[in-house]
Structure formats: C-alpha cells, structure tokens
Amino acid sequence: MAKQGSGGRPGNPGGPRGAAGGPRQGGAGERGPRQDRPDSSGSQGGWDPGRADQEPRRFETRPLRSKSRSFPGASPAEHDRGPARDAAPRRDQRRDESRGPEREPVPHGRLRLYGFHSVAEALNNPRRKIHTLYVTENAGNRLAEMVPNPRVAPTLVRAEQIDRMVGADAVHQGVAADVEPFAGLDLYDIPDDALVLVLDQVTDPHNVGAILRSAAAFGAAAIVMTDRHSPEATGVLAKTASGALEHVPIVTVGNLAQALTVLGDRGFWRVGLDSEGPDILEKSVASRPIALVLGAEGKGLRRLTRERCDVLARLDMPGAIKSLNVSNAAAVALYAIGKALEPKA
C-alpha cells in the first residue's frame, strides 16, 4: 500500500501556467498621459503615494539599459521593443526563438523570487534584504497597491526580460526580485513549544513549497529537512509557497535521524505519518511540542526515521483512496493536529 503523504507533484497552486505579465504597451510612437509614463530620469524611491482623488498610484522607476535603438519620444519600455509586430522575422531569428530564451544566471549568493505574492511578502518583510526589484508597467501598478512603500526603487522591464531571468515557463506575473537568502538556523533556534514539520527526503520543490504554505497557514514554526536529497530554496519553491518562505524558516540538517534524536531530547513528540500506522493521528497527539514527520514520494519514511518516531499514525480517511500526495497529507495532518489540540469545552 502506498505510504500516506507520498506521491507526485501537487496541483498548480499558483494558477494556470502560460504567458505571464500584462499586455504589451502601445507602439513606439504612442505617448500616454504624462503621469502614465515611467520616470526616465533614474529617480530612486518607492511608489508615488498619490491622492485618493487621483488615478491609481504609479511608481518611479530606473529604466533598464538597452542595447537597442532609442527612438525620440519613446518611454524606457518602448526603447526595448524592437521591430514592429508585423515585421517578418529573419530565418535565424525564427530558429533562435524556437529554442526559447536562454535563462540568465542568478547572481552569486542571491535568491531570485518571482510572482506577486512571493515578491510582495519579501518586500513587506523587514528581515529580507532586497537587492533589485523588476516589474513590468502593468504589474508594477498592481504591486504598488499591495506594497505602497517598497524599500527599493523598481526597475521597469518588459515581460520577455523577466522570462530570461526566471525561465520562459515560469508564471512570473511580470514581477521578480533578487534578494538575500536568510541566514541558516539550527534545531536549537526552534521554540520549545512549537509544532514543526520534518521532511524525509521530499525532493520536489513544488511539494515543499506547498507544504510551506500549509505550515504558514496552520502556525507551524519551522520545516526541518536534510541538506541533501531536498530542494534548495529557489524561485520555484518560493512561488509555490506563495509568500510563506518569509514566515516559516527552513532548518537544514546533515542527518535526519540524529535531528529527530535532538528534537526528542528537547521534549518534542515525534509523530511519523504513515498510511499503515496503527493509530489515528488525532488520537496520537496530546500537547505541544510536536514534530510531524512526512515521508518521501513513493518511499514513505525510511527505517531509521521510523525508529526515531515516538508513534506512527495515519489519517482517518473513510474513502476508497488511502494515500495522498505529501503536500495534501501535510495540510490535512496539520488541520487534524490543530483540532485535536483545541481546548475541550
């Protein structure tokens, strides 16, 4: 029988995949109202707060330098537009486009986030250092409503430029940011009365991102996973987490069995989730601190991991299917633990 909390990738929580970013702007000869054009003077600062009786807030931007020809009277975004839409591409151009844009490397020591929620949460997190913020015009206006006073000045770019930064298949929504990763934490940084999730070689970044999102929703204090056979904190993981990376720290360890021993010595009740567990999860927990241990896709919990658990428990599922994807199992288990720990009337 398949292990509970194992399986493939979750459904796409970030919305349908496809082209991202807002609609293309007008042609090079079109000029909108003055307040609708980005400031090409290189002005620094945040969104223009505006007034309630004016149009929605606009933002001051630093235009991205371009090697393309600059046309008089064009806005910074229009400088990069290239040939008109109805111009026939050359044969070598069509061949290059069929391969897709080459992805630009992330600067060393930085994390590249993309998508509205992950970037907005990072901008709102005072602990997160932001190096560069990239927005398209349409996305920037929407982001200004979510983050009225960003800590860095946005750089106005085209959607195709963000495609090259994060990959053409990424649903970036016209927003990206290069940020500083958080400093690493260890097991002793976890609060004494916490609920934590322990992941045993869960390798898919979409699964880990979805687990992070559930952990943030249900009040988990941290996620513990190994530094090998686990995904790095990348833009893919952060996008799936939908901003939860700013709220739930990831603690990486070299040996998961030893980490569970440390948590046990600190008083954590270690519950391994298994579809064949002898006990129902809700009846296996009584009080915090709790470490909920989830197994890898397809394999479930490894032997040493199981041996370090105080109890193996299953979800109470009366239906025909007895196993769930690991991220779905995590969400259901966190909810079940929360209900079990509620004060009895």
CA–CA separation, 331 vs 327, rounded Å? Answer: 6
Q: Would you say domain 187-340 falls under CATH 3.40.50.720?
A: no
Confidence of residue 25 (pLDDT cuts 50, 70, 90): very low
Handedness of CA 190, 192, 193, 197 (dihedral sign): positive
Task: Answer yes or no: are the C-beta atoms of 281 and 329 closer than 8 Å.
Answer: no
* Range list for CATH 3.40.1280.10 in the chain: 187-340
Q: Is 169 exposed, middle or buried (0-12, 13-18, 19+ CB in 10 A)?
A: exposed
pLDDT in tens, 180-202: 999 989 999 999 999 999 999 99
Q: What is the pLDDT of residue 245?
A: 97
Residue 220 class from Cβ within 10 Å (0-12 exposed, 13-18 middle, 19+ buried)?
buried
CATH class assigned to 35-63+107-181: alpha beta
pLDDT over 70 (residue 30): no
Q: What angle do CA 209, 132, 106 make, to 5 degrees?
A: 60
* Phi, psi (deg, nearest 5) at residue 82: 80, -155
Beta strands 175-179 and 130-135, pairing class? antiparallel
Q: Please give the pLDDT value at position 287.
A: 96
Spatial neighbors of 105 by CB under 8 A, at least 6 apart, are none
User: Please, which pLDDT band fits residue 296 given cuts at 50, 70 and 90?
Assistant: confident
Q: Where in the chain is the domain with CATH 3.30.1330.30?
A: 35-63+107-181
pTM: 0.70
89 class by beta-carbon count within 10 Å (0-12 exposed, 13-18 middle, 19+ buried): exposed
Strand, coil or helix: 263:
helix
